[in-house]
Structure 1
Amino acid sequence: MNVLQELKTKILLFDGGTGSLLQEAGLKPGELPETWNITRPDFIVKLHRDYLEAGCDIIKTNTFGANRFKYNSSFEYGLKEIVTAAMENAKRAVREAGKGYIALDLGPTGKLLKPIGQLEFEEAVTVYREVVEIGAAQGADLILIETMSDTYELKAAVLAARENSALPVFATVIFDEKGKMLTGGTPKAVIGLLEGLRVDAIGMNCGLGPIQMKPLAAEFLKYASVPVIVNPNAGLPRSEDGKTVYDIGPDEFETAMKEILDLGINVAGGCCGTTPEHIKRLDRLRKGREQKLPGDKQLTVATSYASAVEFGADPVIIGERINPTGKAKYKQALNEKNMEFILEEGISQQESGAHVLDINVGLPEIDEPEIMALAVQELQGITELPLQIDTTNTEAMARAMRIYNGKIMVNSVNGKQEIMDAVFPLVKRYGGVVVALTLDEQGIPGTSEGRIEVAQKIYREAEKYGIGKKDILIDALCMTVSSDPLGALTTLETVRRIRDELGGKTILGVSNISFGLPVRENINANFFTMALYSGLNAAIINPGSEPMMCAYRSFRALAALDENCAGYIDAYKDAGQTSAAGAGLISGDMYSKSPETPETAGTPETSETPGGVPSGEGGEARLFLSVLKGLKEQAGRAAEELLFDKEPLDVINTCMIPALDRVGKGYEAGTVFLPQLLMSAEAAKAAFDVIREKLDESGRSGGKKGKIILATVKGDIHDIGKNIVRVLLENYGYEVIDLGKDVPPERIVREAEEKHVPLVGLSALMTTTVPAMQRTIAGLKEKAPWVKVMVGGAVLTPEYAEMIGADAYCSDALASVSYARKIIG
């Protein structure tokens, strides 16, 4: 029996913490836990065996941080040596215990992926592939990808596991208490991504204790169609006598986990701070419980890195404007590989109320695969809306699907066998929601019956690839009524029958209905309303068309989808004063959409920013909005324009800092996500570079507010948090001395003394490296008592930070900026 077969019959248990127990056993600050596979194999074997004897079914190899960034030619041990030793220890423990499955443990690399970091997506895939190949060859039973805080890195790890082994893949991520990942992902977005990638079991670990995880577990069970995993910490950490301890012992853990097991989870275990005794209590809890695997939720969901859009009764708007048809400016931009037009159009459609953005870059004279991949990457940097790739080029489709951070929409497939043979394998590999046109080798059927037959043919073929009906949107096809008077009626009948007879979901490119007619928007809007009433789930339209959006909002109000008509009222309450379509841009909102839309990422708040918000069409407004929206080229040009008649500091203070503050407020409110925050910072940097050049030409110094040292502490190579903090601090005018990662306490103290800095920021992701942080703080207090120390990282809490002597705990990058302002100004 393999692990997936056994999972069907009983609740399975993972083991508990490793690093926290290694610390208790003498792991030194800065010492890499994976080296104990070689230097202290007997201890690792005993730890595995203790967990197995406590009742766990699956042990995790001691390879959480094993990758090329730590174990390379410059280190004492190579990657293959470390992973092989870890597998040998695990296999020995299983032999001695007489039972157990071995999970090859893959943790985060510690680096952010492009566009918000420096690590290339394919390099991340390679980093994980190297470990997978070694572990699979050594006999692992499954692969566990755990403690992931970024869906993009998560996808890279899943692809590496799937493409280089035949092993089952389990994946767990970290959420904060607001139910968000570091880069903004929600449970629904994570579930959509992982189920699309055919992961066998999904869930969460680390970061939180079982009490905080309970509502998140309930949300996973609500949406997931695969087994759900919950591996919490033993509560929250604190420091006692220089040691890290956790606030939930085995008794409290058992009580809290009983409530989670009662919800119906399928796999349980522990993370930081848990011990064999915690797992023994879990084993006692599961006895007599029947395994209840989740049923297929039949949810049609497209996702981005941060949001999920569900296709159901509430109609979805797919913006059609990123398309070169009839757009000379767009064609020129594509030929020049200028993404600015695409980014502006994407933002404009989001402001107008789109929930998904369609991308078409098809021109005969361009390299469509290259440009499609570039467009997807750039759009993901500035919008959290899911994307729909619109192409007949399967190479372009494959490249976009591979690098997309989420569960993408694919436009399109049809009933032609050749097309299905090309597209469905890609969807099986990468996941996605497919737009399926009701045409085949015989063309477009003239009757509803004929189109239904094509739809059924597509469903049957997709099922051969494991692609269910829930991941297909049938396009019933709009035939222009100017040439086919019955075209609209045939389409509407097909939409109704797909809903009522086939239980399927539908989509239409609405504007096709009116070709050749005057005042086309009249026809389009009325047909759109008729289609919505017939059960249409999604429409590809121009969200900037007021008649179309009016039809959409009116339908939602009339169909009882808009509670208390709040969305309709919000859109038109000022109709007598301003244009509803333009309200977002005029007010300076970063993004503007109707609050009644299907679940997507939120929008930044619209309250006034300190210093005022530039309005109108002048350079100040353009710079403010460019920074707000993360448009680097625009920001640089707008700054250059303003410097003709404004002082550099005036440009910074009246446009750039207020824009960054606005984005910061949205981030703190959970309505702006990390990629958008960093892209806004990059846009500000582009403007700062122009201003700095102007100052250099005039012989004046731009000046800095003060110096700040940042470092990831000894033993920790995870510098994601530190790098994010650096970007924001620099763009608020501070001079950052970045000492990098794995920095010894002595060096940090020496640099603080020599540079006489007022503030030091320390980062740690792993429990095992917090003692190094504590030693660093102690050294700073002794040698540089004037220095204030702010700390952050996944394993820290405000109480823990206070106990190790830090002056401030900063939960995120914005909190670090706020503290810097308090200390330095």
Structure 2
Amino acid sequence: MQASSIPNPIDALIAEKGVLLADGATGTNLFAMGLESGDAPELWNEDAPEKIEALHQGFIDAGADIILTNSFGGTRHRLKLHNAQDRVFELNRKAAEIACRVAEQAGRRVIVAGSVGPTGELLEPLGALTYDEAVEAFAEQMEGLKAGGAEVAWIETMSAPEEIHAAAEAAIRVGLPYTYTGSFDTAGRTMMGLAPKDIHGVVDDLGQPPVAVGANCGVGAPDILATLLDMTAARPDATIVVKGNCGIPEFRGTEVHYSGTPELMSEYVRLAVDGGAKIIGGCCGTSFEHLAAMRTALDGHKHPEQRPTIEDVVARVGPLRNKSASESGSATGTRRSRRARSSES
């Protein structure tokens, strides 16, 4: 399938607006609405759709250009933990339908992206999940998201290059444009060793390139901005996503709170624009209030200023929590060449 054969709503909106604002945290805000620890958010697509609507509406009211469906754990492998592995298509379809219903009433263009998180399984040879099984699981989820109206497969919080590749292959099979982001939370790399500068090459052998690549989650604004600088330096013309956590998690009794303020997240937005990001959002801890402040910061800072250095980042949003990828060793987690797959035989 050629890159031009799948409509790409993200490029069109970037061409119109310059830089896009993605939404904030799903889990943090659903916990505030009553979701219990250990429960599957995806089950609320059927059991409490009005709360999922409120989640999306809150982010649209705050100014989001892109909202993510409530489907992060929507593969059979994650849903089996809640005895819902036979409801993959329906739960993902409903996730997309709810988001689309809210987006259509926004009075402006809002892109609905289908959130696709990791399976939670290790791929061979480290684990039992085969590459082809991973592709099948992601395709099953994405079929539901596409049926519900999702415009983009938003592959996120990945650690293993092989799993990114499997999800990207699934998106191509299903006929969705796709983005992917890694979580660079281990000494500046993903848990499986992928360095930020190598994010671009993970799916180079596939016929359909990603719409955007980048980073999400991680360990706070300074670290994800350092990751951004590595990514944009490696491929300046790429469309880069950053969706950083709202500060650092802190335990207050049994509850987790994030240290980030609206002011911190606003400064993060300005630095991200200057660092070359084209899609900026928030991850864990990012509330509607934070996102509204980020919208205001973005609208007042559409034209990038001087590219920041790590020293600039530290001075404006605080110290890095981890070493940078360049300081953490030379090994990379780039994907190995794959044998011919069963789908090609």
Q: TM-score range by the shorter chain?
A: 0.7 to 0.9
2:11 corresponds in structure 1 to: 4
Once the two structures are TM-superposed, the CA of residue 98 in structure 1 deviates from its matched residue by 2.6
Work out the CA distance in 2 between the residues paired with 1:108 and 1:226.
23
- Equivalent in the alignment of 1:186: 195
2:310 paired with 1:400: no
1:242 maps to which residue? Answer: 254
| Unaligned runs of at least 5 residues, structure 1 | 293-306, 309-354, 356-382, 390-398, 404-425, 427-825
Task: Give the structure 2 partner of residue 17 of structure 1.
Answer: 25
Identify which of 111, 134, 145 aligns with 2:121. Answer: 111
Measure, in 2, the Cα distance between the counterparts of 1:46 and 1:388. 42
Change in 2 beyond 3 A, CA 1:164/1:41: same
* Residue 67 in structure 1 maps to residue 6 in structure 2: no
Does the CA contact (< 8 Å) of 2:93 and 2:147 recur in 1?
Answer: no
Contact 1:204 1:230 in 2 (8 A): yes
In 2: Cα distance, 1:240 partner to 1:172 partner: 30
Output one character per residue of 1:1-22: Cα deviation in whole Å (capped at 9) or x when no partner: 9322112232011100010111
Measure the CA separation in 2 of the matches of 1:44 and 1:84: 13
* Equivalent in the alignment of 1:661: none
Letter in 2 for 1:259: L
Q: Residues 116, 285 of structure 1: CA spacing in aligned structure 2 closer, same or farther, 3 A cutoff?
A: same
Moved more, 189-198 or 174-183: 189-198
Query: Which residue of structure 1 lines up, in the alignment, with residue 234 of structure 2?
Result: 223
CA contact (8 A) 1:144 1:170 kept: yes
Q: Secondary structure at the match of 2:97?
A: helix
Cα distance in 2 between the residues matched to 1:116 and 1:54: 42
CA 1:74 to 1:178, structure 2 compared with 1: closer, same or farther past 3 Å?
A: closer
Matched, 1:214 2:225: yes
Query: In the TM superposition, what are the counterparts of 1:438-449 in structure 2 within 5 Å?
Result: none
Residue 65 of structure 2 corresponds to residue 57 of structure 1 = yes
Contact 2:76–2:84 (Cα < 8 Å) also in 1 = no
Partner of 1:452: none
Given that residues 178 and 210 in structure 2 are in contact (C-alpha distance below 8 angstroms), is that contact kept between their aligned partners in structure 1?
Answer: yes
Alignment of 1:563-574 (within 5 A): none
Pairwise CA distance, 1:289:
4.4
Contact 2:70 2:95 (8 Å CA) reproduced? yes
SS in 1 for 2:25: coil
1:393 is matched with: none
Query: Would the aligned equivalents of 2:29 and 2:287 in 1 still touch at CA under 8 Å?
Result: yes
Q: Which of 256, 269, 283 in structure 1 is aligned with 2:281?
A: 269
1:271-301 deviation digits (Å, cap 9, x = unpaired): 0100111211221122254578xxxxxxxxx
Other structure's SS at 1:31 match: coil
1:204 aligned to 169, 190, 215, which one?
215
Which whole-Å CA distance do the structure 1 matches of 2:240 and 2:147 have between them?
Answer: 27
Distance in 2, matches of 1:291 and 1:387, equals 35
Measure, in 2, the Cα distance between the counterparts of 1:55 and 1:38. Answer: 26
- The AA in structure 1 aligned to 2:198 is A
Distance 2:19 2:111 in 1: 14
The question of 1:97 aligning with 2:135 is answered no
> By how many angstroms is 1:74 displaced?
4.2
Q: What are the superposed Cα offsets for residues 344-367 of structure 1, whole Å, 9 maximum, x if unpaired? A: xxxxxxxxxxx9xxxxxxxxxxxx
Q: Which amino acid aligns with 2:244?
A: P
Q: Which of 31, 48, 54 is 1:46 aligned to?
A: 54
Q: Which residue among 64, 68, 85 is the counterpart of 2:94?
A: 85
Question: In the alignment, what sits opposite 2:311?
Answer: none
Distance 2:179 2:270 in 1: 22
Q: 1:108: Cα distance to partner? A: 0.5
**Equivalent position of 1:152 in the other structure:** 162
Residues 599-630 of structure 1 show CA distances to partners (whole Å, capped at 9, x for unaligned) of xxxxxxxxxxxxxxxxxxxxxxxxxxxxxxxx
Decide whether the 8 Å contact of 1:150 with 1:185 is kept in 2. yes
**1:34 partnered with 2:42:** yes
Conserved in 1, the CA contact under 8 Å of 2:74 and 2:92? Answer: yes
TM-score by length of 2: 0.82
Counterpart Cα distance in 1 of 2:44 and 2:20: 27
- Residue 385 to residue 266, structure 1, CA distance change in 2 (3 Å): closer
CA distance in 1, matches of 2:20, 2:254: 35
Q: Deviations over 1:162-199 (max 9, x none)?
A: 1211x321111011252211111111222222455411
Match of 1:278 among 280, 290, 303: 290
> Over residues 361-409 of structure 1, what are the superposed CA-to-partner deviations in whole Å (9 max), with x where a residue is unaligned?
xxxxxxxxxxxxxxxxxxxxxx9798998xxxxxxxxx62669xxxxxx
Q: Which of the pair has more CA radius of gyration?
A: 1
Partners of 1:133 and 1:141 in 2: CA distance = 12
Does the CA-based 8 Å contact 1:194-1:202 persist in structure 2?
no
Cα pair distance change 1:113/1:291, threshold 3 Å = farther
Aligned 8 A contact 2:78 2:119 in 1? no
Q: Contact 1:20 / 1:273 at 8 angstroms: preserved in 2?
A: yes
**Structure 2 contact 73–117 (Cα < 8 Å) conserved:** yes
| Cα distance in 1, alignment partners of residues 280 and 147 from structure 2 | 27
Residue 101 of structure 1: how far off its partner (Å): 0.9
Question: Matched residues in 2 for 1:119 and 1:388: separation?
Answer: 16
2-structure distance, mates of 1:259, 1:76: 41
Distance 1:185 1:170, change over 3 A: same
CA RMSD after TM alignment: 2.8
Residue type of the partner of 2:339? A
- Report the CA distance shift for 1:111/1:13 in structure 2 as closer, same or farther (over 3 A): same
Is 2:121 the partner of 1:121? Answer: no
Read off the aligned partner of 2:161 and give its amino acid letter.
Answer: T
Q: Report matched runs for 1:553-632 at 5 Å.
A: none
Displacement of 1:264: 2.2
Match of 2:182 among 153, 173, 179: 173
Q: Separation in 2 of the partners of 1:288 and 1:194?
A: 35
What corresponds to 1:138 in structure 2?
A: 148
Distance change in 2, residues 1:387/1:227 (3 Å): closer
Task: Give the TM-score normalised by the residue count of structure 1.
Answer: 0.35
SS of structure 1 residue aligned to 2:295: helix
Q: How many residues align?
A: 307
- Paired residues of 1:250 and 1:278 also in contact (CA < 8 A): yes
Task: Write the distance in 1 (CA, Å) between the matches of 2:62 and 2:239.
Answer: 23
User: What SS class does the counterpart of residue 202 from structure 1 fall into?
Assistant: strand
Q: How many angstroms apart in 2 are the aligned matches of 1:181 and 1:117?
A: 17
- Separation in 1, partners of 2:85, 2:165: 30
Q: Cα deviation per residue 1:731-751 (whole Å; 9 max; x = unaligned)?
A: xxxxxxxxxxxxxxxxxxxxx
Please show how residues 781-800 of structure 1 align to structure 2 within 5 Å.
none
Shift of 1:230: 0.6
- Would the alpha carbon gap of residues 402 and 13 (structure 1) be closer, same or farther in structure 2, given more than 3 Å must change? farther
